[in-house]
Chain A
Amino acid sequence: MKPATGGAPRPTDALGTPLLTRRQRSLLAFTSLFVTLGLWWLASASGWVDKILLPSPREVLTAFHASAADGSLMRNVVASLRRVLEGFAAALIVAVPLGVAMGASRIVHGVVDPLLELLRPIPPIAVIPLAILWFGIDELSKVFIIAYGAFFPILVNTLAGFREVERVQVRAAQALGANRYQVFRDVVLRSAFPFIIIGARLGMSMAFIVLVAAELIASSAGLGFMISDARYNFRTDQMFLGMACIGVLGFALNTLLLKLERSLLKWKPQ
């Protein structure tokens, strides 16, 4: 047996299993994608599955080209993205300051918390009929439902952040001369910040989940509309395309937020 020579030992996880290198990980990711695509292609090309129920990858690609060419895909993507971003922004603008106020004041917390606990179990889909009555069937009701869905993950995580504040750090700041406001700004908010970012990411993924449900009501554009419209025309290729677009958009926005999180939280250990 040859003795191991040269190089640092490979990093392992807690069980001692070696971690994969970046290259190995991307190799596995590509393999998994291609094998899945291959199986999909095989299933529809060989006729195992009815082509109408499961269109081939090629047909979905054709649908992509067609809807990209006539501009309908772009219109639907923009409509959905706009609703998601508007709803998400509205949720962020309300939930973060509310969470901060609840973290800063026991009285605010005591007043708002029971209401939250009552509202939180109500799923966004249950709010749809009410949203239609209140805000009509136009944009506002859709944005409202998305905002409602994104609101709770953001708020709940913001509140969790305030519970993570370490007393010894508060005391350290006080012993260095910090007043109440400075302790809040430099210790409490800073400790809660990573949780607020996690809440924002969860809120964003919730916004996408709610998006399709919101777009099932009287829409004339959007990826959810595209999918439900395709059902009436038996266009499974377009349904697949719509779902793929939602997947790619959600993935892209999540990656963007992760990047933002890493650059804002450089101080965190890996």
Chain B
Amino acid sequence: MTLTTIITAPARRDSAPGVAVRALTVNYGAHAALENVSLAVRDGEFVCLLGPSGCGKTTLLNAIGGFVRANAGDVLVDGAVVTGPGADRGMVFQEYALFPWFSIEQNVQYGPRLRRVAKAALREISDRYLKLVHLEENKRRYPSQLSGGQRQRVAIARALANQPKILLMDEPFGALDAMTRESLQEELLQIWEAERRTCIFVTHSIGEAVFLADTIVIMAARPGRIGAVVENRLPRPRDRTADAYFAMYREIDGLLRAAHGPASAPGQTP
């Protein structure tokens, strides 16, 4: 049984629900952060953008988020061209980016409050999503009073409470210790399986991509481009100690090395 299928040419499904990146080029001055990148993400799919720093994975995420202008090509979300940031695409950042002047509860309520949701409904929303990330006890506290893992849970609850179609995550667990990271990965999967929101997740950790993703997009640098798109058919729930997990890990590691050349491949452990 093969666990992976390598898709060389991404399917064009421009008017279908989901995300379509079409021949996207983004330059920072003379530096090509992304060159002619095309990618299709199905509705409800969990996609990991994987690669070493400098391969343009964050630029690609920011282009989908509407924070980066394209020099050529475009991004479609549910058939509409992205022209800027919007509430349909929730963001979770490595730096948490909570509003320190708001309480935990006010942070989670921020998006719905902008849409003038009534007060009682706001409380219901924040209670529900804080419960989802196991922080209902902390709703009156401020971000500075929480640990890194707790802050990132709040950031995830804040993004989800706004009911985005797509969740964009930029190395969200990169600043956390290994154990916190693993438990947050598991929590994220539970939430994703319950809500089935499209999730695009940037990481430089092979293990994280193998554990989380339906589809792993391997990116290469100079210029930033897609090296391979791999379907991850490991059955869920996934077991980090299963042989199939390690087999998948090795395969992705090999593809990553092939995309970057043996000299520049990042050495990593599962």
A and B held together in a complex: yes
Docked complex Cα distance between A269 and B101 (Å): 11
Q: Report if B99 contacts A (CB, 8 A).
A: yes
Q: Verify A267–B67 contact, CB threshold 8 A.
A: no
Q: Report if B15 contacts A (CB, 8 A).
A: no
Across the interface, which residues of B come within 8 angstroms of A256, CB to CB? none
A interface majority secondary structure: helix
Q: Report if B192 contacts A (CB, 8 A).
A: no
Q: Verify B91–A175 contact, CB threshold 8 A.
A: yes
Q: Verify A186–B110 contact, CB threshold 8 A.
A: yes
Residue of B with least CB distance to A174: B85
Q: Verify B87–A176 contact, CB threshold 8 A.
A: yes
How many residues of chain B get a CB closer than 8 Å to chain A's CBs? 33
Across the interface, which residues of B come within 8 angstroms of A169, CB to CB? 97, 99
Q: Report if A171 contacts B (CB, 8 A).
A: yes
Residue of B with least CB distance to A171: B67
Q: Verify A168–B97 contact, CB threshold 8 A.
A: yes
CB distance from B165 to the nearest CB of A (A): 12
Docked complex Cα distance between A168 and B84 (Å): 15
Most chain B CB within a 10 A radius of its CB, from A171, A177, A193: A177
Docked complex Cα distance between A178 and B66 (Å): 13
A169-B97, A171-B67, A190-B101 known; A178 vs B142 contact (CB < 8 Å): no
Across the interface, which residues of A come within 8 angstroms of B98, CB to CB? 172
Size category, A interface: 20 to 34
One digit per residue, 1 when the CB lies within 8 angstroms of any chain B CB and 0 when it does not, for chain A 156-188 equals 000000000010110111111110001000110
Most chain B CB within a 10 A radius of its CB, from A168, A172, A182, A193: A172
Q: Report if B144 contacts A (CB, 8 A).
A: yes
Across the interface, which residues of A come within 8 angstroms of B142, CB to CB? 266-267
Among B87, B99, B103, B159, which residue has its beta carbon within 8 angstroms of that of A186? Answer: B99
Q: Verify A268–B144 contact, CB threshold 8 A.
A: yes
Across the interface, which residues of B come within 8 angstroms of A174, CB to CB? 66-67, 84-85
26 contacts between A and B (CB under 8 A): A168-B93, A169-B97, A169-B99, A171-B65, A171-B67, A171-B91, A171-B97, A172-B91, A172-B97, A172-B155, A173-B99, A175-B164, A176-B87, A176-B110, A176-B162, A177-B86, A178-B114, A182-B114, A186-B99, A186-B110, A190-B99, A190-B101, A267-B102, A267-B143, A268-B144, A269-B144
